[in-house]
Chains A and B, each alone.
Chain A
Amino acid sequence: MSLIYQHSRPGRRAPAQAPLLKGETGAIPERFKRRKRAALPELSEMQVVRHYTRLSQKNFSIDTHFYPLGSCTMKYNPRGGNQLAMLPGFLARHPEAPESHSQGFMACMYELQEILKEVTGMQAVSLSPAAGAQGEFAGVAMIRAYHESRGDAARREILVPDAAHGTNPASAVMCGYEVREIPTGANGDVDVAALREVLGPQTAGIMLTNPSTLGVFDRRISEIASLMHEAGGLLYYDGANLNAILGKVRPGDMGFDVIHMNLHKTFSTPHGGGGPGAGPVGVSQRLQPYLPVPMVGRDGDDYCWLTESDCPESIGRLSAFAGNAGVLLRAYVYARMLGREGMPRVADFSTLNANYLLKRLQSLGYEAAYPERRATHEFIITLRRQAKQLGVNTMDFAKRLLDYGFHAPTTYFPLLIAECLLIEPTETEDKETLDAFLEVMGKILEEANREPELLKGAPHTLPVKRLDDVRAARELDLAWSPAKDG
């Protein structure tokens, strides 16, 4: 499809979109001024609306497609959250508005903090991290602040299972830690014997996802927590898979000291094509002094901001203001609609849907990575047999699914399972959709046997065919310029 620039003509404008009167700027000294106008496109309002409407139609999205993307929790995003977060009073509130003009907004934030405390079993929550990765950074920074406050400078190492999200090791490094990987046992649980061997006075903590990225609940979590605490380290909970256990079991009760939540997953705020998210952190009592600011506190009947001066030991501020407030409002609306009785229902139906898909995929001939284990809200199948015998790999299956109108599951993650698909249906899909997906999975397996070229050349029906990633990285073209259109 043509670029917005290709609709542009010199001098064309959408005059009603900008101030009609030209402001007087003659007093700005020449040396500060821009000499040549920026090469932004010049268009009418209708051209812009049509172009971006058409572009949007080239996307898969939850509103249009089943999106079983493992570890991403692509559930339906209730529209009420969007409408209510965009009420004029919330949109117009300046981040530096006085508390007297902020009590309604702050009430929502305070109550969201309380809801997240209860559902995770933690002592205190800060909403400020802007995304999961920033929540991880905050969590590990708090672990570091805790050890430093006790004068324990020897703890240089963060342990991360080999199945962990890539953000875990990257966040630990940003906090100045060395990362040591620990292996996963054959049954999908953390290899506790291997863990014992690496624990020591250099251990600052461990970052775990439970249920893990392998789609199984680590049954020995209490033992791991005891071992870590005995060694003087702390436990970090990556909340990516919180959806699976909402209202069933709480990270605080499993022994975790710090947790981040992905509100754009579990609390159903939209993914927006890659963000914004929100990654609040919760902590046990001993980490409470280090929580990132600002937070909302309570002073009698009034809500007040807790900032650097109220929390002198805080790891500090992570965004200019109070994080992704509009996302937090959407999560708050979702939490209030679900309520206490709705939270375990999320875990119930996401787990039911996943186990149903797993069983039926197995009967279609797909191989489960952990056939003896119960699926949580997601599970892994491996296509290593098909790759070896038929020469079609996981990416080919994924691209063929797109042809049939299903977004592909997560591919090639976790890294330790060869040719894997990580499948997460979420609780918001009905049985008919799951059955339609299964029918297509059966069909693709047949195609793989009969006509593998069909998969290798997929997708065939989308706006573009398979794209050349190597060319994209080798012949970098990251911005349009007039010269490109000759």
Chain B
Amino acid sequence: MLETIGVDSIERLFDEIPDGLRCGELNAIPEGMSEMDVGRLMDARARQDGVAVCFIGAGAYDHHIPAAVWQLATRGEFYTAYTPYQAEASQGTLQLLYEYQSMMTALTAMDVSNASLYDGASALAEAVLMAVRANRKSKSRRVLMPRTVHPHYRRVVRSIVRNQGIELVELPFDPEGGHASPEALAVHAGEDFAAVVVPQANFFGVLEEVDLLTDWAHANKALSIALINPVAVALLAPPGEWGEQGADICCGEGQPLGAPLSSGGPYFGFLCCRKALVRQMPGRIIGATLDLDGKPGYTLTLQAREQHIRRSKATSNICTNQGLMVTAATIHMALLGPDGLERVAAACYDNTAWLVESLSRLPGVEPRFDRPVFHERVIQLPVVAKGVLRALAAHNLLAGLDLSRDYPELGDGCILTCATERRTRNEMESLVTKLERVLSLQGGAPCQLQPKDW
């Protein structure tokens, strides 16, 4: 090969790089390892973290994933394909994405879906940017964001939109109900907003009055952005049917549809909208078309919105979707079907209701808000939550998320707890028993089983 090129060494091929710039040995990088040795290292590290019984939800949910989902998704033909730019050589991925779009529009009762974004939080940020671009009735760059939206999502939206002069106006929650406060909403009547974000269920698990919020948005010339859990919507009214006209844009975290918890990613964000807004939608979109012989096929479409064509005028800088995660989600939805997905949602609801009722029998433990929830609930403990969670973690029980960091107004005794369909009666009983013991020990001797590095 060197002879063909006409050089005497590989090193000569780098002769256009100025000598002074060349680096030496990369001493801080360890020497190479065999697959067996890396395997041993990774195995030890994975085992070190253990597999705890997880009652944390808060945006990532521990659902059963059918065996076929990842066996199919990791087939080399899906796993190692690129973005389907050469449509004729990518009909597998393209048809699958078209099926995904079809399933998402069915689930949300919206007209169109894109082929996915990075995660739920970045999907919300893109939905906000899209709404500001798309709202023809209002030139406002203000967006009403309930405090009941996931705190990390609100942070991500702020990071992504703040350099474009968009203002996020916080809508407080009702201290009794844990839902977006109708009184606070009334204060803003008549003000100019580009959009209102409507979460269902909200971060506390509480069901919002989505019809009222959607109609309020439209009455105030704002677009309505639904932020939903895709499993919950098997049981709850889909955004396309909220209020008089339905939501305009719908987004959320796709993880509950077949993605493992996996430390927070990769997941995928979904984004759906009314047909009239499709040209303002960011991200890949797949369309059905015909080939030269009139045979149906699938291709990337509306690419004139995208960065590789429009460059600085694109709807977004995004140039990928989360293809593999959507592959898994599509197979996941096909395996569950409408009945299966509804069963998963109902089992989560039922489990959480049972757990909350059992926990509430312990002295001083009670649900914090009084309104209906889906599969998560804020639990008020009679003592500081941090120490209780730590003691339970020492028993490999992750009892919930301490809310004191993100919601100081709730005090330091509130946790957000979730029991998906995967939690067994035994596991839930064990949580109740251990919590009872930990609470009875509070004020007495501290638990002996403390992890050293909390």
Contacts of A466 in B (CB 8 A): 88, 291-292
Contacts of A103 in B (CB 8 A): 48-49, 453
A111 → B minimal CB distance (Å): 8
* Distance of A301 Cα from B417 Cα, bound (Å): 31
Instruction: Say whether B17 contacts A144, CB under 8 Å.
Output: no
Beyond A319-B156, A359-B4: 17 further Cβ-contacts under 8 Å?
A: A1-B91, A3-B95, A34-B237, A35-B241, A43-B337, A78-B35, A86-B260, A90-B46, A90-B49, A166-B314, A317-B156, A324-B266, A402-B88, A407-B89, A464-B291, A471-B290, A479-B102
- Is residue A192 within 8 Å, beta carbon to beta carbon, of the partner chain? no
A–B Cβ pairs within 8 angstroms, 11 of them? A13-B337, A14-B66, A18-B343, A29-B372, A48-B331, A96-B401, A174-B164, A245-B17, A249-B21, A333-B42, A476-B275
Considering the complex, give the chain B residue whose CB is closest to the CB of A93: B263
- Is residue B438 within 8 Å, beta carbon to beta carbon, of the partner chain? no
Considering the complex, give the chain B residue whose CB is closest to the CB of A410: B85
- Is residue B186 within 8 Å, beta carbon to beta carbon, of the partner chain? no
* Distance of A399 Cα from B16 Cα, bound (Å): 34
Instruction: Say whether A274 contacts B323, CB under 8 Å.
Output: yes
- Is residue B412 within 8 Å, beta carbon to beta carbon, of the partner chain? no
Considering the complex, give the chain A residue whose CB is closest to the CB of B343: A18
Contacts of A254 in B (CB 8 A): 21
* Distance of A56 Cα from B79 Cα, bound (Å): 10
Instruction: Say whether B454 contacts A99, CB under 8 Å.
Output: yes
Name B390's contact: one of A98, A248, A250 (CB within 8 Å). Answer: A98
Instruction: Say whether B32 contacts A325, CB under 8 Å.
Output: no
* Distance of A134 Cα from B92 Cα, bound (Å): 27
Contacts of B426 in A (CB 8 A): none
Of residues 142 to 173 in B, which have CB atoms within 8 Å of A's CB atoms? 150, 152-153, 155-156, 158-160, 163-165
- Is residue B444 within 8 Å, beta carbon to beta carbon, of the partner chain? no
Instruction: Say whether A467 contacts B336, CB under 8 Å.
Output: no
Given contacts A94-B56, A174-B317, A219-B18, contact A100 B79 (CB under 8 A): no
Instruction: Say whether B29 contacts A119, CB under 8 Å.
Output: yes
- Is residue A57 within 8 Å, beta carbon to beta carbon, of the partner chain? yes
* Distance of A15 Cα from B292 Cα, bound (Å): 41
Contacts of B62 in A (CB 8 A): 92, 94
Of residues 469 to 486 in A, which have CB atoms within 8 Å of B's CB atoms? 469, 471-473, 475-481
Contacts of B86 in A (CB 8 A): 60, 398-399, 402, 407-408
Instruction: Say whether B333 contacts A23, CB under 8 Å.
Output: no
Considering the complex, give the chain B residue whose CB is closest to the CB of A74: B82
Contacts of B18 in A (CB 8 A): 219, 221-222
Instruction: Say whether A40 contacts B106, CB under 8 Å.
Output: yes
A257 → B minimal CB distance (Å): 16
* Distance of A468 Cα from B79 Cα, bound (Å): 27
- Is residue A105 within 8 Å, beta carbon to beta carbon, of the partner chain? yes
Contacts of B4 in A (CB 8 A): 356, 359-360
* Distance of A349 Cα from B2 Cα, bound (Å): 11
Contacts of B351 in A (CB 8 A): 23
Instruction: Say whether B118 contacts A179, CB under 8 Å.
Output: no
Instruction: Say whether B321 contacts A318, CB under 8 Å.
Output: no
Interface size class of A (residues with CB under 8 A): 35 or more
Instruction: Say whether B77 contacts A59, CB under 8 Å.
Output: yes
- Which among A61-69, A228-236, A381-389, A446-454 touches the partner chain? A61-69
- Is residue A217 within 8 Å, beta carbon to beta carbon, of the partner chain? yes
* Distance of A43 Cα from B338 Cα, bound (Å): 10
B267 → A minimal CB distance (Å): 8
- Is residue A273 within 8 Å, beta carbon to beta carbon, of the partner chain? yes
* Distance of A473 Cα from B301 Cα, bound (Å): 6
Chain B 42-57, CB within 8 Å of chain A: the 1/0 string? 1111111111101010
Instruction: Say whether B32 contacts A53, CB under 8 Å.
Output: no
Contacts of B41 in A (CB 8 A): 336
- Is residue A185 within 8 Å, beta carbon to beta carbon, of the partner chain? no
- Is residue A390 within 8 Å, beta carbon to beta carbon, of the partner chain? no
Chain A 433-475, CB within 8 Å of chain B: the 1/0 string? 0000000000000000000000001010011111111011101
Instruction: Say whether B16 contacts A216, CB under 8 Å.
Output: yes
A400 → B minimal CB distance (Å): 11
**B interface size (C-beta, 8 A):** 197
Contacts of B317 in A (CB 8 A): 133, 136-137, 167, 170-171, 173-174
Name B312's contact: one of A170, A464, A465 (CB within 8 Å). Answer: A170
Name B331's contact: one of A15, A19, A52, A108 (CB within 8 Å). Answer: A52
Name B156's contact: one of A4, A97, A320, A475 (CB within 8 Å). Answer: A320
* Distance of A327 Cα from B263 Cα, bound (Å): 11
Of residues 176 to 211 in B, which have CB atoms within 8 Å of A's CB atoms? 207, 210-211
- Is residue A331 within 8 Å, beta carbon to beta carbon, of the partner chain? no
Name B160's contact: one of A137, A250, A373 (CB within 8 Å). Answer: A137
Chain B 274-296, CB within 8 Å of chain A: the 1/0 string? 01001000001111111111010
Instruction: Say whether A327 contacts B79, CB under 8 Å.
Output: no
Instruction: Say whether B91 contacts A80, CB under 8 Å.
Output: no
* Distance of A339 Cα from B152 Cα, bound (Å): 35
A378 → B minimal CB distance (Å): 13
Considering the complex, give the chain A residue whose CB is closest to the CB of B28: A118
Contacts of B441 in A (CB 8 A): none
Considering the complex, give the chain A residue whose CB is closest to the CB of B451: A100
Contacts of B383 in A (CB 8 A): none
- Is residue A368 within 8 Å, beta carbon to beta carbon, of the partner chain? no
Which 6 pairs, one residue from A and one from B, show the smallest C-beta to C-beta distance?
A321-B264, A339-B32, A272-B324, A63-B76, A89-B46, A23-B350
Instruction: Say whether A325 contacts B265, CB under 8 Å.
Output: yes
A127 → B minimal CB distance (Å): 10
- Is residue B38 within 8 Å, beta carbon to beta carbon, of the partner chain? yes
Given contacts A170-B311, A472-B288, contact A274 B50 (CB under 8 A): no
Of residues 439 to 453 in B, which have CB atoms within 8 Å of A's CB atoms? 451-453
Name A59's contact: one of B1, B81, B118 (CB within 8 Å). Answer: B81
- Is residue A175 within 8 Å, beta carbon to beta carbon, of the partner chain? yes
Name B393's contact: one of A52, A67, A98, A342 (CB within 8 Å). Answer: A98
Contacts of A338 in B (CB 8 A): 32
Instruction: Say whether B333 contacts A40, CB under 8 Å.
Output: yes
Given contacts A80-B38, A352-B1, contact A464 B107 (CB under 8 A): no
Contacts of B207 in A (CB 8 A): 28, 32
Given contacts A105-B45, A465-B291, contact A48 B68 (CB under 8 A): yes
B257 → A minimal CB distance (Å): 11
Name B289's contact: one of A93, A316, A468 (CB within 8 Å). Answer: A468
Instruction: Say whether A173 contacts B31, CB under 8 Å.
Output: no
Instruction: Say whether B92 contacts A98, CB under 8 Å.
Output: no
Contacts of B79 in A (CB 8 A): 61, 63, 77, 82, 270, 272
- Is residue B58 within 8 Å, beta carbon to beta carbon, of the partner chain? yes
Given contacts A19-B421, A87-B42, A104-B44, contact A60 B90 (CB under 8 A): yes
Given contacts A23-B351, A248-B14, A464-B91, contact A38 B107 (CB under 8 A): yes
